[in-house]
Chain A
Amino acid sequence: MKTPALRSALGPRETQVLELLWDRGRAMTVRHLLTEFPALAYTTLQTTLDRLYRKGLLIRLKQGRAFSFEPRCSREGLLSELVSKHFVDVLAASRVNTGILSTLVQCVGERDAALLDELEALIQAERIRLQQDK
């Protein structure tokens, strides 16, 4: 599943390598990957993997003298992150919550769990009162 979001965030070779690692579903070394990309030089593939690793998209595991690489998150997870980033851009476009959207609720942090508990208790109490009134 190639997505426009992924293509716009990564280069074509980076996307190809990442797509292949997702499809294989296991860690692979440069030498393993070379069999899948025979047209590429070892160093080119090594550079592409290093670039993806520096971008935080791959995890690097030491295997003897070589490194093997596997995706840090799933295809869907990465897509979600990319789109969330666009969403941040939408809202950061101005000081007044720019972006043509009306959200149901503004975000509340974990520190506000107590408030949510309190509100839930109020809702329960009101539900009971309405049932008793019937």
Chain B
Amino acid sequence: MNNLAVLCLVLIAAHGLMNLLLSVLVAGTWTTWLAAKPLTSRGLFALRMLPSLGAVFLTLTVVLPAFLIKEPNRAAEPVGPLVILMVAYVLVTMTAGCVRAWRAWRATDKLLRDGGTSYARFSIAGRDVEIVDIPGILVAVLGAYRPRIVAATRVLEACSREELREVIGHEAAHILNHDNLKLLLLLSSADILAWMPAGEELISRWRAAAEFEADDMATAQDALQRVTLASALVKVARLCGAKRPLAELSMPIVVDDLDGRVRRLLAPVPVAHTCLPAKNATALVLLLPFLSVPFYGRIQDFIEMLVAFGR
């Protein structure tokens, strides 16, 4: 096995090991501490993506330089079973992530191709938005790369002009926040967290936070607009209850979610906050490659141990 092949295997294995450790760290932190804290959608997204993106970042900015600088110039050595195990872990998680993303994309694309009747177009922040009527969906944003607002004509009939403005504003906020693209990234995240309850909880909490934030963006924190949106939510929920287009789904019927959203809209305008010190955390992450330079020797020793483990 030549040096380049060993380098590739070591990098993939190091990535897998860090991915695994970060997954366990996120799951543990979430379960014991963060689940009870109010977090913004951005914080929740960062937390959920930490194992996959954090592992890539650390591999390229810490492990790779340490290996290239400190690896003694000698003939390539055979790798041990731990490296092979970690490479297999990376391949499995990446394949599973790709499959999840592909299935979601394909199903969404099929839905758009088969049922969409476009009946209106408008522009938000320089982006064209198409309004489509797809049977079975009341109001939603569909698609990640070219998101479309789906609104059933019976929703347009049931809601007043003011309510519709808030509804479309809410969906437009999802588009401006790139929420569907984020959802696709969350679903395709290549890590073991995808199979852990904490991973599902994080996505579920992210969805709820994204809804709250879209409500806030749409209503511009105006009390009257918030009441109008709350009224539209109840009207749409009533349409859903009468026709029950989604009743067969095994998705959670989160009545508390609607209840909580309406009560939140009627309460005094909330202040968004997070307990994650986002700026400090970002600064620390960006400094990490530089802070790790004095430890390259130890990192290399660890890589040697990883390569030789079980050999």
Residues of A within 8 A of B (CB): 3-5, 8, 76, 79-84, 86-110, 112-113, 115-116, 119-120, 122-123, 126-127, 130
Q: How far is the CA of A92 from the CA of B224 in the complex (A)?
A: 37
Q: Beyond the given A83-B115, A83-B136, A130-B223, please list 4 additional residue pairs across the A-B interface where CB-CB is below 8 A.
A: A86-B115, A98-B107, A99-B107, A105-B258
Which residues of chain A are within 8 angstroms of B234 by Cβ–Cβ distance?
Answer: 116, 119-120, 123
CA distance A86 to B230 in the complex (A): 29
Stretch of B3-11, B32-40, B60-68, B239-247 with 4 or more beta carbons under 8 angstroms from chain A: B239-247
- CA A102 – CA B237 in complex, angstroms? 15
- B231 interface residue per 8 A CB criterion: yes
Q: Is B240 touching A107 in the complex (CB atoms < 8 A)?
A: yes
- Output the nearest chain B residue to A9 by Cβ-Cβ distance: B114
* CA distance in complex: A3, B134 (Å): 13
7 smallest CB-CB distances across A and B, nearest first, come from A80-B135, A84-B136, A83-B115, A104-B139, A5-B114, A90-B107, A107-B246
How many whole Å from B220's CB to the nearest CB in chain A?
Answer: 15
Known contacts A105-B240, A116-B238; A98/B113 CB under 8 A: no
Which secondary structure dominates chain A's binding surface? helix
Q: Can you report 20 residue pairs joining A to B where beta carbons are below 8 Å apart?
A: A83-B134, A86-B111, A86-B115, A90-B104, A91-B246, A94-B104, A97-B251, A101-B180, A102-B140, A102-B211, A103-B139, A104-B138, A104-B170, A105-B233, A112-B237, A115-B258, A122-B262, A122-B266, A123-B231, A130-B224
A103 CA to B167 CA, complexed, in Å: 11
| A-contact 0/1 string along B188-207, CB 8 Å cutoff | 00000000000010011001
Total chain B interface residues with beta-carbon distance under 8 A: 71
Q: Please judge, given known A-B contacts A5-B114, A94-B187, A105-B258, whether A99 and B108 are in contact too, CB under 8 Å.
A: yes
Give the CA-CA distance A71 to B309 in the complex, in Å: 69
* Contact flag A96-B258 (CB < 8 Å), given A5-B115, A102-B180: no
Interface check B103, CB cutoff 8 A: yes
The answer on a CB contact under 8 Å between B174 and A108 is: no
Q: Which residue in chain B gives the minimum CB-CB distance to A122?
A: B266
Contact of A102 among B113, B174, B266 (CB under 8 A): B174
Question: Contact: B244 with A109, CB < 8 Å?
Answer: yes
- Tell me if B143 is interfacial: C-beta within 8 Å of chain A: yes
A83 contacts across to B, CB distance below 8 A: 111, 114-115, 134-136
Which chain A positions have C-beta within 8 A of B115?
5, 79-80, 82-83, 86
- Indicate whether A101 sits within 8 Å of B142 (C-beta atoms), given known contacts A94-B187, A106-B257: yes
When chains A and B are docked, how far (Å) is the Cα of A100 from the Cα of B180? Answer: 6
Q: Assess the B233–A98 pair: CB atoms within 8 A.
A: no
Task: Decide if A8 touches B187 in the complex (CB within 8 Å).
Answer: no
- Chain A residue nearest to B231 in the complex (CB): A123
Contacts of A93 in B (CB 8 A): 100, 103-104, 107
On chain A, the residues within 8 Å of B170 by CB distance are 104
Contacts of A102 in B (CB 8 A): 140-141, 171, 174, 179-180, 183, 207, 210-211, 214
Complex Cα gap A41–B190 (Å): 56
Known: A87-B111, A90-B104, A96-B204. A106 touches B254 (CB 8 A): yes
Q: How far is the CA of A112 from the CA of B244 in the complex (A)?
A: 12
The reply to whether A107 and B247 form a contact with Cβ atoms under 8 Å apart is: yes
Q: In the complex the two chains form, is A103's CB within 8 Å of B138's CB?
A: yes
Q: Is B184 an interface residue (CB 8 A)?
A: yes
A4 touches B255 (CB 8 A): no
